[in-house]
Structure 1
């Protein structure tokens, strides 16, 4: 096993082909030491932990493509911020598709100009300060999204907020799927988490960077997901103080926690989270029932001495033709700040049915632009679409059927 030298930047690859190693080694002269590990997946992961490379190359040429695809999925789960770059031949479309679905950031053509490989590494390679940091020092923010009743769009907003913040790997983001119906956010994200909120509370002392990467499920865009247990009765096993301790601990690992509380019925628990959050939004529609429910929710919070002048009302599916403007709704609910999200039911439903999040799939959609603007007003920056490399350009040329995510949607 190679010992780490702190003066050297490492790049790791999994190929067994001497010609690939030689080609990459020549192309990357001066950028770092190229290390090869062609053993088991476990050996490759151990090598990542040992040398902490700034970038990983995976060989997707020929018969190696399927092996590298499985390895990529394994690495993405454990090291979601580590850039993965596929190397191979664009003339092999099936290999390109495997690489695309596995979550690689870009593709290097082994028959292309070595300068292109150099450019990819310079753009994607993690700086040394990020590679060697064992424990994050951040203190991330918490945004709570409340829905006074199910179906008003709180979960949809929470999912797209998280995706917008993460877009282009702009931030480490956790989506806490605490709304009702149970695990709707996970369904929208096309993820089936095994580890849940109560288990996280029970394992609080074990939390470190590796535990966060391995225990939490991740959406394809890198957003981590932590849902409620499928049996809600398990919530009785933890106290409010334990739950809040978890949120505080998670601030060290995520730039932003988005908490979906759409339709949640335990007002006491909700009040504790609202009190701990940096920003709070209440989602309502223009319907009378939704407006009344939002006003009643705020009254219930006030009874528990939770009053926030910075609370924002978000009117979802807003349509000016309905004759009830956002300011009137805010006055009726009793808040000063109000935002609106346009009616985009068709676009949101199409994205969900395809197993993707609209903020990832169509960043220029009117709904997504409104979410981005909302994030800016909260003091967070929505991530920009990543620079288009060879893989992105080829993705645009793939038929829709090839772009669909592998496997069944969550809940099917």
Structure 2
């Protein structure tokens, strides 16, 4: 609705120095908006033409687009709105027009803009509208966004890819069980389930463990960032029989140099708009800057290490480098993998040495894991009573409720509790 001129105002400190695009040819209107946003950034104008607007948005990446509905026909305005909604859904869209032109106001609101302001509105009123929209967009994004779980490993061989693969498939199977329940089916059907970002080294081990092939890689995802939708993700990504999606590194690792760390992180954020869980395997990943940017947005960071001296020293070095980049590693948790009490290095001592809390202990089950792999299967699917799977169940329970309000895996009674008990080998039908 049109904004009241006496709307409460709080300065938009967080968007200072941003770029704003004004689709208008009205000189007085351009002067008005330039003045209204002078202390927040610069206003760039563009003619009322969908092709030109698209080019400018792609070039400038504006914080917000203002569309002047004065003296513009409904068809052209509609094409511009449709273009922005299709290709740049994250960009805020605010309509403007004269207070005396009621048809202009109705056209703007019917077109689907986020809000509308009169060109006679005060600076405070314009900025107040923007702030309200940003707060609402952030709130909606947080509610809709899935959970990102990052598994770090300082060097290859610590078992990160095996753990990530079993975790991702188990979560997907739990979601499948929940989707069979009427109270959750509609809500879960609106989103995709679980995606495993197979970014660890050696490259594409996740695909190998899961018996899948993929011609669509993480780099392809970055290149197609603006085209991502559910249809593309369901057709382009590889899928495990459980329904879990996989997005691996490219077969040629040289392609990684073609995309920036920022673009890679943007892809991870965008995927969380579609999937309930993103499991990011960063085991052995050597680029610390990429790891640092990836884990900043992760809801949970599990640092996987074993009892070897090499593993502990490498993990300590990785954590120090992440701290040097401003990350608070106290929010991380240690997953001590391949644990054997006979070695004489207690899990609590290793956590203290690394300076992070102890999260979970995974027993050394090398032989059962190898047997499962030789069958082309995951241990979580063929040996549900194994201690490895029991420990995996503890990790899953620690994640709490499913995004969107689905009951927690530990909640009961019901199919969730029965499935969880079956997963860890306690339920007998």
TM-score using structure 2 length: 0.56
For the residue of structure 2 that corresponds to 1:255, the secondary structure is: strand
The whole-number CA distance in structure 2 between the counterparts of 1:385 and 1:226 is 30
Q: What is aligned with 1:258?
A: 279
- On the 8 A contact 1:167/1:360 being kept in 2, the answer is no
Shift of 1:337: 2.8
Per-residue CA deviation, residues 215-273 of structure 1 (Å, 9 max, x unaligned), is 10001111100000111121121122211211111112211000111111011111110
What CA deviation, in whole Å up to 9, does each residue of 1:300-322 have, x standing for no partner?
11111122322011111111121
TM-score, L = length of structure 1: 0.58
Asked if structure 2 preserves the Cα contact closer than 8 Å seen for 1:326 and 1:338, the reply is no
**1:195, CA displacement in angstroms?**
0.4
Q: Deviations over 1:360-379 (max 9, x none)?
A: 22233211111111121132
Structure 1 residue 346, shift from structure 2 partner: 1.3
Q: Does 1:353 align with 2:371?
A: no
What is the match of residue 161 of structure 2?
155
Secondary structure of the 2:172 match is: helix
Confirm whether residue 328 of structure 1 aligns to residue 349 of structure 2.
Answer: yes
Cα deviation 1:174-197 (Å, max 9, x = unaligned): 000000011011100111111000
Verify the 8 A CA contact 2:323 2:329 in the aligned structure 1: no
Correspondences of 1:326-405 after superposition (within 5 Å) = 326-379=347-400, 381=408
Corresponding residue number in structure 1 for 2:249:
228
Unaligned runs of 5+ in 2: 1-142, 179-187, 402-407, 410-415, 421-429
Q: Decide whether aligned partners of structure 1 residues 260 and 385 sit closer, same or farther in structure 2, where only a CA change above 3 A counts.
A: farther
- What CA distance in whole angstroms lies between the structure 2 residues aligned with 1:249 and 1:256? 12
CA distance in 2, matches of 1:314, 1:346: 20
Note if 1:217 corresponds to 2:238. yes
- C-alpha separation in 2, matches of 1:139 and 1:294: 30
In 2, Cα distance between the equivalents of 1:236 and 1:148?
Answer: 21
Change (3 A) 1:284 1:209: same
Q: Is the 8 A contact 1:326 1:340 kept in 2?
A: yes
Task: State the SS of the aligned residue for 2:235.
Answer: helix
Given that residues 174 and 258 in structure 1 are in contact (C-alpha distance below 8 angstroms), is that contact kept between their aligned partners in structure 2? Answer: yes
Structure 1 residues 167 and 297, CA gap change in structure 2 (3 angstroms): same
Residue pair 2:319, 2:329 contacting (<8 A) in 1 also: no
Q: Which has the larger radius of gyration?
A: 2
Taking a change above 3 Å as real, the CA distance of residues 249 and 369 of structure 1, as seen in their structure-2 partners, is same
Distance in 2 separating the partners of 1:221 and 1:362: 16
Separation in 2 of the partners of 1:228 and 1:271?
18
Give the CA deviation at 1:386.
6.6
Take 2:378 and 2:387, find their aligned partners in 1: how far apart are those partners? 14
Which residue is equivalent to 1:144? 150
Q: Which residue of 260, 268, 272 maps to 1:247?
A: 268
- Alpha-carbon separation, structure 2, partners of 1:315 and 1:209: 36
The equivalent of 2:201 in structure 1 is 180
* 1:385 shift after superposition: 7.3
Tell me the secondary structure at the aligned position of residue 251 of structure 2: coil
Aligned residues: 251
Structure 1: segments with no counterpart, 5+ residues: 1-136, 388-412
Distance in 2, Cα, partners of 1:338 & 1:154: 15
Deviation at 1:384, TM superposition (A): 6.7
8 Å contact 1:177–1:227 — kept in the other structure? yes
Q: Which runs of 4+ in 1 moved over 2 A?
A: 360-364, 378-387
